[in-house]
Amino acid sequence: MLFGVILITTNAFGGVVDYVDVFVGTEGDHGQLYPGATTPFGLVKLSPDTGGSGHAGYDYANMTIEGFSHTRLGGVGCSGAGGSVKLKPALGKTATDTMNKTSETGRPGYYHVVFNNNIQVDLTVSPRVGFHKYAFPASAQSAYVHIDPTHNYAGTLDSSWTVESNTLVTGYTRGKNVCGHQYYKLYYAVRFDQPFIETEADGSTVWCKFTSGGSAATIQVKVGLSPISTAQAIVECDNDLPGWDFTAAKNQAEGLWENVLGKIELRSVSSELYEFRDLFYTCLYRCYLLPHNVTGSNGEYRRAGDEATIRQVSATAPDYVYYSGWSTWDDFRKFALISLLEPDIAQNIVRSVVDWFSGGYTPAWADGYWPCPSVRNEFINALVLDAYQKGITGYDVEAAYNGMVGTIHGNDQLEKPYQYYIVMKMARLLDKQADYETYKTQALSYQTYWCPTQVDGEGNIRGFFTPTGNSVPQSDVNTVGKYFYESNLWHYRLFVPHDIQGLANLRGGRSLLADDTEYYFSTWQHMALNEPSLTYPFLFNYLGRPYRTQYWSRKYITDSVTSLYHNHGLFSSPVISRVYQKQPAGWLPTMDDDTGAMSSQFVYSALGLYPACMGDPYYVIGSPLFPEVVLHLAGDTEFTIRAQDANLANKYIQSIKLNGKTYLRTWIAHDILQQGGELNLQMSSTANTLWGTDLCAAPPSLSASATESSALKADISSMDNLPDCRVDLWDLTAMIEQWLMCSNPRDVLCAAD
């Protein structure tokens, strides 16, 4: 059965799950993550609830456990969302027990802990089922399992439980989404491997009694989740996770993780990079947690926004899987990684987005009905453009386009122009010329908000984006939240990912904007713990100083940096530390992982490939951290990134060759990676201040440089006047056709493919 059987293959080099540390980012407000068991994009996220204010129910510093619930989101704001269907084993009816902290362990697909009363807990999962194994010690007290369907981090609207038999309890739970936005609804089935003696109601919860004291007992429990019905939740217990062999289920979950994490193979890793290797795989693991597969094992699903209708995936495509649960204001960039490594999954993710679009109600936040916990939807249209431009097109493209037009959310000054660019590109690809011209104008509308006379916080005239394009008081420039959501004027100053050259033109040239950007970093204005400015270390490639991209993109993953801001203001005193550390307090203070947004930042930075304009099919080249990385891509294709002499000190690129030929661009197209081959970079501790500085080496931008247009005409009219970076001569007709389609016409003349 398509939805009930999971095939596992093993990577030849194997064992990468051993490098994942599921406890990184789980202490206090340093990631808001959780250590529990899940599968790649699985609905079930089975993890301990320690109480307190943890957004995912867990705090590594808390020694108490209130139970083990089955849904959550990794590192999101407000109070998080999820916490559905909490179970707790107990000797006597105790609501909370303390753990033996030294016993606590976890790895992808598995969690283990022992309470101080010697109850041993083992947890594993399938995509739709949580599998609990409780070993009770001999005790004079009775052994109980408590079922609480009312538990929810953001608040429960209503819930139920029904004792179906002496081995089965069913019900539903309807809980609020992040920040109290509307609701999701899940049905559940709690099935025991042995009968309970009796049940005792406790308000809206139930205690299941298994012994009246005496000998030791081992009780196994499967909890099936379904957005469809309690009947389907019961089916999942058998279809999605058949039998009661806990070890086999654990191995199955681990095998799923080995498959996906092994798509990126790190080779020749020296001991100084071991910690960063472990962080890499830990962060890659976190990129695979959202969205959720909310398709039943029978192929049925409920679409977000339409609780009343049960649909069948086969009506869309034989291989369709419906995904839901989004946080795309935060994590939209990570989907360029998914489309690279998992094109089949990316296709179904985009199908799911288009499916949601077709409902006609596409709010910015997770309002209305959802089949699982969800957050927000800004920038979700970038996922569609990214997939379409990478040849992932198995969906209704017209419906996709219409939906993209209807999901332009965000601030008017900068977030909407970027989204208009996304729609503009899709219109051009679909030959909708009138729409293309309209949306191009709106994509360039960011220019009307540029105030060239605006001073920075120190009184230097630099130019900034302001709400009206008029100057604001100097004292407001560095104030977080004054004009931009969770940011100040610096943090949105470079938020024009589609047109960095156009921004440079506003500033007076690439050199001036590069100077400003260097000032921004060297005075520690950068906010590495929130999403708007994540791209900025990579923007020097557009500005003729790629060696500064190499410096700053590496520094922010391996070195101590100074952080002045959290996303609501200034820290009481500057925080000086690494952004990413392999420890429970692993991220910066207040730095939510935001469903893999921050984790993907580490992955991209360590690879030295970054989707600076998410939606467009290219990656800006940064500073590869590891000497050799093999990307295992679809069709048994391999692309190798070989960074000669790469180590912590050697962060600078001296030269690059692609498949043995000199490569002069500071970015690389997705198609090149997809075809397989080798990118060979010579690394050094000394910056090469000449490599990649020519204008034609810069990544694409919507606007040409102020001096480029006239030069471009001369270049096309004379094949003898091609830029120095040209490696191969193209057929002139094909070159001009490509020039007409390209967002940066001069780039065509610099192609090194």
The two three-digit tokens of residue 723, written as one number: 């830029």
Selection from 658, 659, 578, 649 nearest residue 621 by Cα = 658
**How high is the pLDDT of residue 708?**
57
Of the chain, the end-to-end C-alpha distance in Å amounts to 43
198: three-class secondary structure by DSSP? strand
> Comparing C-alpha atoms, which of 172, 224, 184 is closest to residue 81?
184
Cβ(223)–Cβ(145) under 8 Å?
no
pLDDT tens-place string over residues 677-730: 999 999 999 999 999 999 999 999 999 877 654 444 444 343 333 333 333 322
E strands, 310-460, where?
311-312, 323-324, 369-370, 450-451
**Residue 15 CB coordination number (10 Å):** 11
DSSP states of 347-369 as a string?
Answer: HHHHHHHHHHHTTS---SB--SE
Closest residue by Cα to residue 178 from 364, 329, 368, 375 = 375
pLDDT in the model for residue 707 = 64
Query: Which residues, 6 or more positions from 710, have their beta carbon under 8 angstroms from its beta carbon?
Result: none
Instruction: For the chain, give the mean pLDDT.
Output: 92
pLDDT at site 753:
31
Which residues lie below 8 Å from residue 501, measured CB to CB, with a gap of 6+?
A: 510, 542, 698, 701, 702, 703, 704, 705, 744
pTM summary value: 0.94
For the record, the structure tokens of 13 come out as 């080099």
* Ranges in the chain, pLDDT < 50: 1-13, 709-753
Among 558, 580, 588, 531, CA closest to 28: 588
How far is 371 from 315, CA to CA, in rounded Å? 19
In the chain, the domains with their CATH numbers are 17-257 (2.70.98.10), 317-695 (3.30.2080.10), 707-748 (no CATH)
DSSP state letters, 447-490? GGGEETT-B-TTS-B--EE-SSSS---GGGTT-TTSSBTTB-TT
**Cβ–Cβ < 8 Å for 624, 683:** yes
Q: How many residues does the chain have?
A: 753
pLDDT of residue 52: 85
